[in-house]
Structures are given as C-alpha cells and as structure tokens.
Amino acid sequence: MQLKKWSKWIVISGTLLIWLIKFFIRPFVHIPAFLKPLAGISPNLVGAFLLPFGACWFFKKYFVLRTLLHVRLTCWFGLALVIVNEYLQMIPVFGRTFDYLDILSSFAGVFAGYLAFARLMVKCGALKEEGELV
C-alpha cells in the first residue's frame, strides 16, 4: 500500500511540474535560445518518467506490478503509446507538431522512471521474486 501512496504523490507532483512548465514558464518566462530545446522536451521527459508510477496508482487493477518484468512490460506499453501519440501529431488536423526529440526524451524518461520505480519497489518491499507466482 505504501508503494501506491508514493506513486500517487509522485504523479501529482510531476503533473504540477508539467503544468508549471507548459502554462507558466514557457509562455511567460524568457528562455535563452540554447535552453529552448530543453524547455520543449521537458514535459515529455517528466511525463514519460511518470508512466510506471501512474500505472501503479491509476491502473493497479489492470497492470500487476509485482516483479521487474511486469514493470518493464508496463513501461514498454506506455512508451509505445507515447510514440504512437507523437506520430499522430503528424496529422495536420490536430494542430500539433511532430518532433524526434520528444521521442528521445520519452525513451530517457521511461528509462529513468523504470529505475526510480524499481528502486521504490525494493524500498517499500513490494518486489517479488521473478519466478514466484503470487
């Protein structure tokens, strides 16, 4: 239960950080030219980082996160959805822009999220043995 509680607060904090970047910092704060790519990809990086935590908090019924294999599969599934979303932005109807840097930052974010979530699972004692059936 402690893992779900940590996941909840990490997702809430991360979402607030994304909103802060997208709705306050990027529109109203002057960002130097060399930092603009970082400001552009940071919501994707943070959002991808939150994938395993969000799966634990929101979708515990559908994603059983008992082993590292389960966490890896959940991260791969979330990453696939992020990549499909990015490619859908190529359709002009949505009025969005496609960017390969967003996909790269999503890879980095999911990897960092996987490492952080796995460490949290160990800390909370929620990690089961790979071969163990629960």
Where does residue 35 rank: exposed (0-12), middle (13-18), buried (19+ CB within 10 A)?
exposed
| pLDDT per residue rounded down to tens, the chain (134 residues) | 688 899 999 999 999 999 999 999 999 999 999 999 999 999 999 999 999 999 999 887 777 788 899 899 999 999 999 999 999 998 888 788 888 999 999 999 999 999 999 999 988 887 776 544 33
The model carries a pTM of 0.88
Report yes or no: 6 and 113 within 8 Å, Cβ to Cβ: no
pLDDT at residue 48 in the model: 96
- Ranges of each domain in the chain: 2-124
pLDDT at residue 118 in the model: 93
Q: Rounded CA gap, 54 and 30, in Å?
A: 32
